[in-house]
Amino acid sequence: MSAAGRRRIAAAQKKRWAEYHKAKSEPVKPKRKFSAAGRKRIVEATKKRWDAVRAQKAAPQKAAVKIVKKTKRRTGSAGAAPAAPKVGSPATT
């Protein structure tokens, strides 16, 4: 193949490539940015939400601790009756 033929093929390929990419590309929109006040409002709202979540998680744990303490005192009493044997166990036959 001659050098002139290779140049024609290369030029045609470049032309096809440019046409394909020109039709495909769209103008790029500039990215939107938060204003300082908008960002501040979002940060404050997020902190408020997380504070509420943490408070909600902490509240049930305190109640659960109180219940556990009460049940421990009741199960350790000396005057409790011994547990009844299960029906069908070797102790009853």
8 A C-beta contact, residue 74 and residue 80? no
**Position with higher pLDDT, 63 vs 9:** 9
Q: Which amino acid is at 23?
A: A
Instruction: Give the tens place of pLDDT for each residue, 39-59.
Output: 999 999 999 999 999 999 888
* SS3 assignment, position 65: helix
Q: Is the pLDDT of residue 65 over 70?
A: no
Mean pLDDT of the chain: 79
* Pairwise CA distance, residues 50 & 53, whole Å: 5
**Position with higher pLDDT, 16 vs 82:** 16
Task: Sketch the domain layout of the chain as residue ranges.
Answer: 34-70
- Could you tell me the CA-to-CA distances from 17 to 10, 26, 81 in Å, in that order? 10, 16, 92
pTM of full prediction above 0.75:
no
* Pairwise CA distance, residues 73 & 32, whole Å: 62
Q: Is the pLDDT of residue 33 over 80?
A: yes
- Identify the DSSP state of 21: H
Which pLDDT belongs to residue 39? 96
